Amino acid sequence: MNTIQDVIQIIDLLYKHNWDERNGGNLSYLLSEEEVKDICDIHHPLRTFSYSFDMKELIGKYILITGTGKYFKNCLKDPKNNLGILRVEDAHTLSLLWGYEDGGSPTSEAPTHLKCHIERLKVDPLHRLVIHCHPTNIICMTHIHSLDSNRFTETLWKMQTESIVVFPEGIAVLPWMLCGGEEIGDATAAHMKDYRSVVWAQHGIFCTGKTLDEVFGLIETIEKAAEIYMKICDKKIIQSIKNEELIQLATAFKVEYRKGIID
């Protein structure tokens, strides 16, 4: 059960950071067959869930997904009702192997998560995790800042030295769209071809990566940059990080930053 405990710890941190209030936010994590075998019987599915979109590229994959309507604050004390482990059986079917014991089902954002997994695996075969949460300052920033992805990225890069090192590919930003639907899911997944992070204006952020620590750290770094921006955006700026200094940083840390933003 170590895998479940690791996930629950991150979920609890997300809640305690005030990034996943009530039933806001969701998480999905690709698991190996060995990890799943340590938790449950993989040969006797409990229930199935059907989806209209094509997920054939994930057939055979095991995925832990938070439940719909579930509160992150409850996962620590009751994981079996709030989380589920599923296997992609065919292009349109997930089978439940563990969890959702109260009759629940995967988060309503599951299609967006699954589509993001498909796109990120094409870019990074070691990709495993998608986290969607509602960081306060990122949301605040979308109310007052241009939603152009390059301008949004440039601002966040210039807020602190570590930004361009942690997310050199930048941040994609979507205008407000109805959540839980195909349109926003498709738009988010399309950006995942080039980015690990996609902001939903006036809503939150989707972040992806290989490990729980990596993705949580990515969210922390983006949110801290947004917090700095919100604290100084109405003040006279006397000095800031220059474009040539950002390039110097990227060179020193050997990261490939997105071109066309600061050069």
Are residues 249 and 119 part of one domain?
Answer: yes
> Is 90 exceeded by the pLDDT of residue 2?
no
Are residues 172 and 241 part of one domain?
Answer: yes
pLDDT in tens, 241-250: 999 999 999 9
Active site residue 119: no
Q: What is the CATH number of the domain that holds 22?
A: 3.40.225.10
Residue ending a domain, choose from 41, 73, 108: 108
pLDDT in tens, 115-157: 999 999 999 999 999 999 999 999 999 999 999 999 999 999 9
Are residues 251 and 155 part of one domain?
Answer: yes
Catalytic residue among 33, 57, 109, 162: 109
Are residues 238 and 219 part of one domain?
Answer: yes
The tally of domains found in the chain comes to 2
Question: Residue 1: its pLDDT value, please?
Answer: 54
Residue 126: count of CB within 10 angstroms of its CB = 10
What percent of the chain is predicted at pLDDT more than 90?
A: 97
200 lies in which domain range? 109-263
In this structure, is the dihedral angle defined by the CA atoms of residues 164, 170, 176 and 178, taken in order, positive or negative? negative
- Kindly state the tokens that stand for 184: 């926003």
Are residues 189 and 75 part of one domain?
Answer: no
